[in-house]
Amino acid sequence: MWLKDSSIGRKLVMSITGLALVLFLLFHGSMNLAVIFSEDAYNTICELLGANWYALVATLGLAFLVVVHFLYAIYLTIQNRMARGKDRYAVTAKREGVEWESENMLVLGFVVIGFIVLHLYNFWFKMQFTEIMHMTGFHDFSVSEFGPTDGANMVKALFTTPIWGQVYCVLYLVWLGALWFHLRHGVWSALHTMGFNNLKWMKRVKCIGNVVATLVVGLFAVVVFYYLGAGIGMLCA
């Protein structure tokens, strides 16, 4: 199968799944901004994206994209290392013209995946999964003091609880830093693979990668910094 056996096919799968995940991150980051302006509006969004059939289908689709993207990333890395053979051990200095993130995409990916797991526990497990459990008859199942659609109070409690809230804010900012580097190179690489690779488009694509990475990370960071400030204010009060 050429999508697995061909180098171009593997890169195309990485590009398509990666760009689809970027679109989701833009949606998710934009949705999160609502919690700053209206907790009721944010909770309404959480209710709409709860254990409803369309949200469940989207969740399964998203999980599929993440798994495929991650597995192909590992596969591509292994194939590239095998292709380079012993030559990779001879390289001791940074290769000219090669950016740091391009040589550390898999490491950055592992950092991003690790924090996705943390994020799933902090929110998805306490919200949509809890709703699923209630729908299947486990009405007493609960892992949070708040209701499964009370996302606003979950966010506030996570990021403003004295000490631990500030720790979580720092952890999320570390994750966002890794995500920025991953997206900065990933968007450029995806567009490059899809044909935007001539001299005219090269600088434009790099600029697009920087803009998209900054926009995605900025949307998430605004919420973290908002509650980080609120948490510090509570400590100082």
DSSP string, the chain: -HHHHSHHHHHHHHHHHHHHHHHHHHHHHHHHTHHHH-HHHHHHHHHHTSS-HHHHHHHHHHHHHHHHHHHHHHHHHHHHHHHHTTHHHH--SPPTT--HHHHSHHHHHHHHHHHHHHHIIIIITTTHHHHHHHHTT-TT--SSSS-TT-HHHHHHHHHHSTTHHHHHHHHHHHHHHHHHHHHHHHHHHHHHHTT--SHHHHHHHHHHHHHHHHHHHHHHHHHHHHHHHHHHHHHH-
Tell me whether residue 91 is in a domain: no
Number of domains making up the chain: 1
The confidence score (pLDDT) of residue 140 equals 83
CA-only gyration radius of the chain, Å: 20
Residue 94: pLDDT over 60: no
Is residue 92, in this structure, part of any structural domain at all? no
User: pLDDT at position 3, please?
Assistant: 60
pLDDT digits (tens, 9 = 90+) for 37-91: 999 999 999 999 999 999 999 999 999 999 999 998 888 888 877 776 655 544 4
Domain that holds residue 51: 2-85+102-236
Residue at 227 is within a domain? yes
The CATH number assigned to the domain holding 200 equals 1.20.1300.10
**pLDDT tens digit string along 128-186?**
999 999 988 888 888 888 999 999 999 999 999 989 999 999 999 999 999 999 999 99
Residue 90 lies in a domain: no
Percent of the chain predicted with pLDDT > 70:
91
Residue where the block lists tokens 């995500």: 179
Question: How many angstroms separate the CA atoms of 49 and 51, rounded?
Answer: 7
Residue 97 falls inside a structural domain: no
pTM: 0.88
